[in-house]
Amino acid sequence: MQFFPALRILLAVRKSGARPANQGQEGKQQLSGIYIPANAVGGGRQGGTLRLVLMCVAAAVAGVALASWLAGREPHLDVAVTVASAAAFAVLVSMALLARRFVARGAPPAEGGEATPPHRLPDKWTEDLHEFTRRTLQMDLHQEPGRQLAELVYELFGLDAVVIFDADLGEVYQAGAWHDDPQEMAQNAYHFESSDDDPDTGFHRRVVRLGTVPIGSLIVRGEAVPLAVTFIASLVAVTFDRYRAAAHESRIEAERRAEQLRAAVLDGLAHAYKTPLTAIRAASTGLTEMGRLSAAQAELASLISEQAGQLSELTTQLLATARLEAGDVVVHATPVAVGPLIDEAVASLGERRGATPITVDLPDESLELCCDRRLMVMLLTQFLDNACKYSNAGSAITVRAVRTGPEVVFSVHSFGPVISMADRERIFDRFYRAATSAHRAAGTGIGLSVAKRAALIHGGSVWVASEETEGTTFYAAIPANRTEAGA
């Protein structure tokens, strides 16, 4: 029979080492020359896969037997049957090797004890990682976390040495004994984004990432599970992020308290100055009206009255700013005609306007706005006063108001020094003055901050646009239909 060529193939494969190494041990079943662990058959996904393999093997054996029987009855099929036998047994051997590999993955090690799948951590490392997570959550975030983390990793996991690099702070923290300087090693791991494990030297390198952004590096030396080192690096990244969030929150709180203190001091000083300034102005005015002063004396009395007036205006601004910042102002919103509102703001400039021409552009003379009249006059006055101070001599100032959707947009345009992009972000901050305009006119940097607070308390906003050819325009957008508001 032509069964023997196929049999020779099977024997050759078996002699070449296709048999499992644990052949002949107890608990095995022998089937067609291929040894399968008995405890691997049945139960779950593994058992289902092995049953499929056994069915394939049985089908291959049956096919070879049938082919051999046909070859005995039909000699002219000799070559075709030989090829078919070889192909069938090739399938047989391949399926057997697949079954062997599958079973070997799930089988316990020969030395005894339980095997740990590659995606699971040993129990000791799992417990240590749990403790590490717990202690990082209790960490003092008012101190830099790098040193605390390095010492904690070194202590908990029994490593020879640990180094952590915090790229944001530019600091390297180490624990344990390092024969070489680990600083350069840690920085290189961060800059080159090197994450690897070297069993020969015992080094494990990880890039500490927040999402996809590298924020540092972790290097440990000693016996460690690579997956555990990756978990540690992730926890280090989370702790770095928590530290930055806490520091940012503390900084904001400190700035808020400092601003509250400054507002309280200014409010107190403004109240304290208001009474003596009123007395000074009254006395200087009385001296002037007596009419018995010489020309020099009258000039001095006029100067006293003028400077006292400026100080009184400054204290009024300080009081308004402090109250707006503290939220002590109640908005009394009523329908107000925009045209008379602008006229009142222009008239409030008084002598500060000088000879500067001011043009009012009001396309819709019937335009109305529901607002606090006093606060809106204050806002427009600050815009106009700022334009008068910094506009080029002889150039005109244009005040415009238009309805845009649900808002009324006021604008004050003038030609003067260009405000840089960086200054545009801060020019509405209290006491800030742009570097390019500080030498052109006296000022305190309070006026525009008052305008901003007046707009915000109405639910509006302010901004500025400044170009060399187009000039500088200050904008205030105020909701048109506000009926009532409070601080």
CATH code for position 235: 3.30.450.40
Are β-strands 397-404 and 407-414 bridged in parallel, bridged antiparallel, or unpaired?
antiparallel
Q: Is the pTM of this model over 0.75?
A: no
Asked if residue 166 and residue 99 are part of one domain, the reply reads: no
Structure tokens at 478: 């105020």
Half-sphere exposure of 444 (CA within 13 A, CB side): 15
Asked if residue 76 and residue 100 are part of one domain, the reply reads: yes
Residue 117 lies in a domain: no
Residue 166 lies in a domain: yes
Alpha carbon distance 242, 247 (integer Å): 9
Asked if residue 167 and residue 224 are part of one domain, the reply reads: yes
User: Of 250, 275, 299, which one is at a domain's C-terminal end?
Assistant: 250
Asked if residue 458 and residue 418 are part of one domain, the reply reads: yes
Report pLDDT digits (tens) over 15-38. Answer: 444 444 444 444 333 333 333 343
Asked if residue 212 and residue 299 are part of one domain, the reply reads: no
Asked if residue 430 and residue 347 are part of one domain, the reply reads: yes
Asked if residue 8 and residue 143 are part of one domain, the reply reads: no
Asked if residue 410 and residue 367 are part of one domain, the reply reads: yes
CATH code for position 408: 3.30.565.10
Asked if residue 457 and residue 401 are part of one domain, the reply reads: yes
Residue 486 lies in a domain: no
Q: Is 291 exposed, middle or buried (0-12, 13-18, 19+ CB in 10 A)?
A: exposed
User: Of 291, 323, 355, which one is at a domain's C-terminal end?
Assistant: 323
Half-sphere exposure of 320 (CA within 13 A, CB side): 24
- Residue 312's contacts (CB-CB under 8 Å, 6 or more residues apart) are 274, 277, 278, 281
Tell me which residue of 482, 462, 481 sits closest to 379, measured CA to CA.
462
- Give the 3-state secondary structure of residue 133: helix
Residue 487 lies in a domain: no
The 3 state secondary structure assigned to 264-306 is HHHHHHHHHHHHHHHHHHHHHHHHHHHCCCCHHHHHHHHHHHH
Residue 54 lies in a domain: yes
Asked if residue 241 and residue 138 are part of one domain, the reply reads: yes
Are β-strands 203-210 and 213-221 bridged in parallel, bridged antiparallel, or unpaired?
antiparallel
Residue 112 lies in a domain: no
pLDDT of residue 283: 84
Asked if residue 394 and residue 276 are part of one domain, the reply reads: no
Q: How many domains does the chain have?
A: 4
- Residue 66's contacts (CB-CB under 8 Å, 6 or more residues apart) are none
Report pLDDT digits (tens) over 396-407. Answer: 899 999 999 999
Domain holding 317, by residue range, is 257-323
- The rounded radius of gyration (Å) of the Cα atoms in the chain is 43
Residue 15 lies in a domain: yes
Alpha carbon distance 119, 274 (integer Å): 76
Cα dist from 431 to 225, 233, 264, 330, 425, whole Å? 58, 45, 15, 24, 14
Alpha carbon distance 372, 333 (integer Å): 5
User: Of 205, 220, 250, which one is at a domain's C-terminal end?
Assistant: 250
- Give the 3-state secondary structure of residue 161: strand
Residue 116 lies in a domain: no
Asked if residue 226 and residue 134 are part of one domain, the reply reads: yes
Written as tens digits, the pLDDT of the chain (487 aa) is 444 444 443 344 444 444 444 444 443 333 333 333 434 444 444 555 556 556 666 666 666 666 666 666 655 555 555 555 555 555 555 555 555 555 455 444 444 445 545 556 788 888 889 999 999 988 888 889 999 999 999 999 999 999 999 999 999 999 998 887 888 999 999 999 989 999 888 999 999 998 899 999 999 999 999 999 999 999 999 999 999 988 888 888 887 787 777 767 766 766 677 778 888 888 888 887 877 788 888 888 888 888 887 787 777 766 776 667 666 677 788 999 999 999 999 988 877 777 788 999 999 989 999 998 988 998 999 899 888 888 888 888 999 999 999 999 999 999 988 888 888 878 888 767 666 555 455 555 677 888 888 898 888 999 999 998 889 999 999 998 864 444 3
